[in-house]
Amino acid sequence: MSTALPLKHIIEAALLAAEEPLSRDRLASLFEEDERPSNAEIGKALEAIGEDCVDRGVELREVASGWRFQVKEDFQDWIARLWTERPQKYTRATLETLALIAYRQPITRGEIESVRGVSLSSTIIRTLQEREWIRIVGHRDMPGKPALFGTTKGFLDYFGLKSLDELPSLAEIRDMESLEPEFEFDAETEAKVSAALGGGEDGETDEGETVDGESEDGENGESGNREEREAVDTEADSEAEVVPEQESDTNESEIDEDIELNPDDERS
């Protein structure tokens, strides 16, 4: 085999042809023993390839299993139209279970059930294992020797992560959930918005109390409207007392809504 070709071009071709990420050792194995480049030389070639991709639609990304080419996020809306089938769906229970394993591994099935407050379906564990996102990493030293679950390199590769350290912190997740849009309106705009939304009714809180200095009965017939709503609420409460309360079903596969889960990154 001739080594006249630049090392960068050989590695670039290998990454493009590969169906999975390639580690440095795997890239080195492509060469004969007497012409095998060092890890430092491979590292420089990978760095040069990454710089070449700055102005392109693809990028060179290092994940848990190695290096790969993938489509940049800015172009995913167009690339997604290449495939007509819909992305695979996962239930909320499945994603919650996966998140617990990722953040609290190693973790047992009983500990997952304790956190979620419901029994864990065996189908969920089987689905995650078949997807090669989780595996049994050991057994807890306690009666019954329950299995300990942890994530795999396949999990990191799918979500474009190099290691578990790249997972967002729980504090960051809480901050994202608490974000709410805030708008500042002048007095005229605020009055128009209030009128469009129903005038005096917007001054009520969920408990029926008033705010912004409005009277208890409101204005423009607000007292009559409140009495009508109270009558309807009383009638609804009486009907609710007649209907027996049904026991909730903790079967996660029935109560959890389907959620589409798309990988952050697509291969080119």
Q: Is 21 exposed, middle or buried (0-12, 13-18, 19+ CB in 10 A)?
A: buried
Domain boundary among 57, 79, 101: 79
**Based on the domain organization, do 94 and 163 belong to the same domain?**
yes
Strand partners, 90: 259
pTM of the model as a whole? 0.55
Nearest to 31 by CA among 11, 45, 52, 59: 11
Structure tokens at 231: 């009558």
**All residues at 6 or more sequence positions from 27 whose CB lies less than 8 Å from its CB, including other chains:** 11, 14, 42, 66, 67
**Based on the domain organization, do 75 and 11 belong to the same domain?**
yes
Asked if the structure places residue 195 within a domain, the reply is: no
Q: In what order do the strands lie in the sheet with 107-108?
A: 107-108, 147-151, 134-139
Q: Which domain holds residue 43?
A: 7-79
Condensed to tens digits (0 to 9), the pLDDT of residues 33-80 reads 888 899 899 999 999 999 999 889 999 998 988 999 999 988 888 888
Q: Is 225 exposed, middle or buried (0-12, 13-18, 19+ CB in 10 A)?
A: middle
239 has a pLDDT exceeding 90: no
Answer yes or no: are the C-beta atoms of 173 and 179 closer than 8 Å. Answer: no
**Based on the domain organization, do 73 and 98 belong to the same domain?**
no
**Based on the domain organization, do 24 and 71 belong to the same domain?**
yes
DSSP 8-state secondary structure symbol assigned to residue 102: H
Asked if the structure places residue 216 within a domain, the reply is: no
7 has a pLDDT exceeding 70: yes
Q: How far is the C-alpha of 228 from the C-alpha of 234, rounded, in Å?
A: 10
Condensed to tens digits (0 to 9), the pLDDT of residues 151-201 reads 999 999 888 888 898 888 877 766 655 544 444 445 555 555 455 545 444
Answer yes or no: are the C-beta atoms of 168 and 69 closer than 8 Å. Answer: no
